[in-house]
Amino acid sequence: MALFCSQSIGSCLTILCLVLVQCRSALILSMKKHHHSYHHHRTAPMFQTNQSNCALFAGTWVQDDDYPMYQSSECPLIIDPEFNCQMYGRPDTGYLKYRWRPLNCELPRFNGLEFLDKMRGKTVMFVGDSLGRNQWESLVCLIYSAAPQTQTQMVKGDPLSTFSFLDYGVTIQFYRAPYLVDIDMMQGKRVLRLEDISENSKAWRNADVLSFNTGHWWSHNGGLQGWDYMESGGKYYQDMDRLAALEKGMRTWANWVDSNIDTTRTRVFFLSISPTHYNPNEWNGGATPTTTKNCYGETAPMTMSGVTYPGTTYPDQMRVVDNVIRGMSNPASLLDITMLSELRKDGHPSIYSGDLSPQQRANPDHSADCSHWCLPGLPDTWNQLFYTALLY
């Protein structure tokens, strides 16, 4: 692989290292079926096109005035207030004008009508936390903007929300399960069952395409912690090593997929960890003083030479996810969006979220949302990759 660089040797080496990290961290995307050798001999994630081999998750962001692929006004009932940055006052639009270019190829542009036609009569379900909901709403908007005249039906609920394109029999669903495994109430306490997924999984069995994600909730503490006790092996714990807990939960999920999913009729994907941007030192390297304490005010992606690997939590979580998936009998296809998303410090709602009060918006140092993503925005690229892996 040739790497051409007009920058310094140090910058070139940084780019090369990033490419190698991407290649090492991603599983091969199998377009037709999974092979057992898949988790024994890993190389770069290669997507076969008619023109070349494509390292799908390594590449660069390029400006493109043909983006975004839809406007928020085209699907106002679908986008949650916390993701609808333009509606809630974001003044800049440059962050909408970037396209992901993988190494050695161009991604096919998302075609909503083609998606509906090829997925006719099928159900696509996203399962996970609010990042999964972010992606679900993005996919619905991408499709709906291409077929605004088709009859639709939407039912938002908890844990299951459904959007149906009735003329095509296509159903796009989101099932909220931030840990994937079950949470039960016991004597008024929330018990996270690390080895039980039987209740949640009832809703997943009949989907034709499943896309899972988890990660953020496993590290929450205090008021954001989603459980009071963890249960494993019949024992109850007020806390345990969070990576160990994640691994137990992931293995429960992986065993369920291996035991219950017929891969000849159901495709299974796993979305890698979506990074946050709460620490400006991650992208300026301390070279210049920062005027903000998070993603507030960021309007452009990082340059490749300025990025560091995300935080301290996510690489550890990614190793757990990668190891569990590689050990599956029928490995899920990993959509390795972590590094390409890490570059997009400009893509978060920040203070432009309908979930924030005027007082919170006036205090970005403490209230900015640097975890979720604006719509339109970065999740549209996740879905472009998902679309490419699913249909090409």
What are 5-20's pLDDT values in tens digits? 334 334 444 444 444 4
Instruction: Tell whether the model's pLDDT for residue 137 goes beyond 50.
Output: yes
Mean of pLDDT values over 343-358: 97
- The kind and range of the H/E element at 387 are helix 378-391
Mean of pLDDT values over 265-276: 96
Mean of pLDDT values over 46-72: 79
- Beta-carbon contacts of 284 under 8 Å, excluding residues fewer than 6 positions away, are 290, 306
Active site residue 372: yes
What pTM was computed for the model? 0.86
pLDDT of the residue at 44: 34
Active site residue 52: no
Between the two ends of the chain, the Cα-to-Cα distance in Å is 24
Active site residue 65: no
- Beta-carbon contacts of 80 under 8 Å, excluding residues fewer than 6 positions away, are 133, 137, 354
pLDDT band (50, 70, 90) for residue 282: confident
Higher pLDDT among residues 211 and 309, named by residue:
211
Query: Can you tell me which residue has the tokens 């809703």?
Result: 203
The per-residue pLDDT of the chain, averaged, comes to 86
pLDDT of the residue at 10: 42
Distances (CA, A) of 185 to 150, 195, 214: 41, 16, 21
pLDDT digits (tens, 9 = 90+) for 370-383: 999 999 999 999 99
pLDDT of the residue at 308: 58
**Contact between 249 and 323 (Cβ < 8 Å):** no
CATH topology of domain 10-25+47-391: Rossmann fold (3.40.50)
Q: One of 72, 130, 145, 333 is an active-site residue; which one?
A: 130
pLDDT band (50, 70, 90) for residue 285: low
Dihedral angle computed from the Cα positions of residues 260, 335, 106 and 14, in that order, rounded to the nearest 10 degrees: -150
Q: One of 348, 369, 371, 380 is an active-site residue; which one?
A: 369
* Both structure tokens of 171: 């159903």
Mean of pLDDT values over 296-309: 78
- Mutual orientation of helices 313-326 and 242-260 as an angle, nearest 10°? 30
Mean of pLDDT values over 152-169: 97
Q: One of 201, 350, 372, 380 is an active-site residue; which one?
A: 372
Instruction: Tell whether the model's pLDDT for residue 90 goes beyond 70.
Output: yes
Amino acid in the structure at residue 241: D
Mean of pLDDT values over 384-392: 95
pLDDT of the residue at 292: 73
CA 238 to chain centre: 29
pLDDT of the residue at 43: 32
- Beta-carbon contacts of 265 under 8 Å, excluding residues fewer than 6 positions away, are 208
pLDDT of the residue at 286: 57
